[in-house]
Amino acid sequence: MNRTPGRLRHDQTGAVGMMIVIWLAVVVLVGITAIDAGSIAFTKFRLADVASSASTQAANAFHASPNVAAACQAAETSIATEDASAKLAKKGCVVDAQTGAVTITVRKEATTIIAGRLNFTKKFAKVSATETNGPTAL
């Protein structure tokens, strides 16, 4: 009867260490997920700003001379100036000739630790933003 409590303590040797290792792994996984989510959110926010600026530049260029190609070129120049790694999407420059409003779609891959490397999360790291603006009133 005295051997049973000793055996139970002996069988539990390392249980606390194993729990600590598991908790550390969970904390690291949650931390990496939070960093990746923050990076994706920041990239989305920044890309929306880039798209807004590019659509305003394109609308102003179209207002100055009603040339769709020149307006889209102004948008591409603005995108390259604001963020060199962002790209204008295919068919990402749409000009409404009636109102002078320009819709710009910009794409970029967010810098992530894990999300951009796993096949089932890669789509979350590819961020796009679409903005529509008219010419400025000034």
* 32-61 residue pLDDT tens: 999 999 999 999 999 999 999 999 999 999
Mind listing the pLDDT tens digit for each residue in 80-108?
999 999 999 999 999 999 999 999 999 99
- Dihedral of alpha carbons 112, 115, 119, 123, sign: negative
Q: What is the predicted pLDDT for the residue at 58?
A: 96
- Looking at residue 3, its pLDDT comes to 52
Q: Is 121 left (phi over 0), alpha (psi -120 to 50) or beta?
A: alpha
- Residue carrying the six token digits 């490397």: 117
Q: How far apart are CA 137 and CA 127, in angstroms?
A: 31
**20: three-class secondary structure by DSSP:** helix
100: left (phi over 0), alpha (psi -120 to 50) or beta: left
Q: Where residue 14 falls among pLDDT bands split at 50, 70, 90?
A: confident
Between CA 10 and CA 134 the distance in angstroms is 75
